[in-house]
Amino acid sequence: MSGIVVTVTPNPAVDATVTLDALRPGAVHRARAVRHDAGGKGVNVASCLADWGVPVAATGFLGADNTAIFERLLAAKGIADRFVRVPGETRINVKLLDPAGTTDINLPGPAVLPAALAELGPAITDGTAPGDLVVLAGSLPVGIAPDTYAALVARLRERGLRVVLDASGPALAAALAADRLPWCIKPNRHELEEWAGAPLPTLTEIVLAANALRGRGIGLVVVSLGEEGAVFVAAEGALRARLPAVGSGRDGALSTVGAGDAMVAGIVAALREEAGLERVARLGTAFAVAKLGRPGPNLPTPAVVEALSARVEIAAA
């Protein structure tokens, strides 16, 4: 069992979830409810890991003008706050929730000056030992070059750290084109298709693409497929894991915001136990499904998550 997990969120967000009876473009809506949660991919991963009982530190760049909601979450969950404060306001991302699903409106966030990047290295590596896990997750803010994740992966690997990367677009492409690759990646179908430059409509094509990445040196490639579950591809083989959603929000609305991040947390929790591929697939899926429909980056008790993990349907892919 390794030590502290560090999550890095270069572009966190306050998630404003607005519940509507029905979303109609161009119409005036009276919202049923709104809630605000500290979010962004690495923040959500850290929060789910803390709920599971893992010691965790969170870093990245936080706009100095609206830190309170993040500070409250981190303090409440005992997550070490290593965020580098930058001038401006952390973005607000709007999540419109109606019975048809979730519509995400993600804003750009404040620009970050390269000088702030110099502070990030020590914030990540402080207190870590070889074998520890570092999660790099989410979009990069304006001002930070698209090859930043690639450069961080190289530096962190030099220290023997295992890097889990959850990114998209040019930042993911640059990290996958580099000489030194992450230990694990978790693209969703769309992100993998973007990287492959082609649609991947079947499971066979997804597993082929995942295996191509594994062949280049990534130990574990997880491709999440929404309600179709996810595939987990490693040296041990390829597994497909799924579990039907267990609950839904009011009037059938099911927020899927943060399910991918919860899956990353479950994968990290299992990697931290040095678990085999089946346990990784079970815990990753159980964390994701446990998070579905739950407000904020929160999991139920570990006992509930373990019970879900026992019910995950696993098959060779």
Ligand X SMILES: Nc1ncnc2c1ncn2[C@@H]1O[C@H](COP(=O)(O)OP(=O)(O)O)[C@@H](O)[C@H]1O
Instruction: For ligand FBP, give the closer residue by CB, 240 or 297.
Output: 297
Cβ closest to ligand X, residue 40 vs residue 229: 229
Per CB under 6 A, the segment of 61-69, 78-86, 271-279, 286-294 that binds ligand X is 286-294
Q: Is 289 in the site for ligand X (CB under 6 A)?
A: yes
**Residue number, 258 or 284, with CB nearest to ligand FBP:** 258
Exposure of 30 by Cβ count < 10 A (0-12 exposed, 13-18 middle, 19+ buried)?
exposed
Tell me, yes or no, if 251 is annotated catalytic.
no
- Judged by CB under 6 A, which of 148, 224, 298, 309 binds ligand X? 224
Task: Say whether residue 226 binds ligand X (CB under 6 A).
Answer: yes
Task: Out of 285, 297, 298, 308, point to the residue binding ligand X (CB under 6 A).
Answer: 285
| CB-CB contact of 260 with 289 (8 Å) | no
CB atoms near residue 147 (< 10 Å): 16
* Residue 138 partner contact from ligand FBP, ligand X, none using kind-dependent CB cut-offs of 5 to 8 Å: ligand FBP
Q: Which of 51, 98, 166, 261 is catalytic?
A: 261
* Residue 298 dihedral angles phi and psi, to the nearest 5°: -125, 145
| Active site positions, annotated | 261
List contacts with ligand X (CB under 6 A).
188, 224-227, 229-230, 244-245, 256, 259-260, 263, 285, 288-289, 292
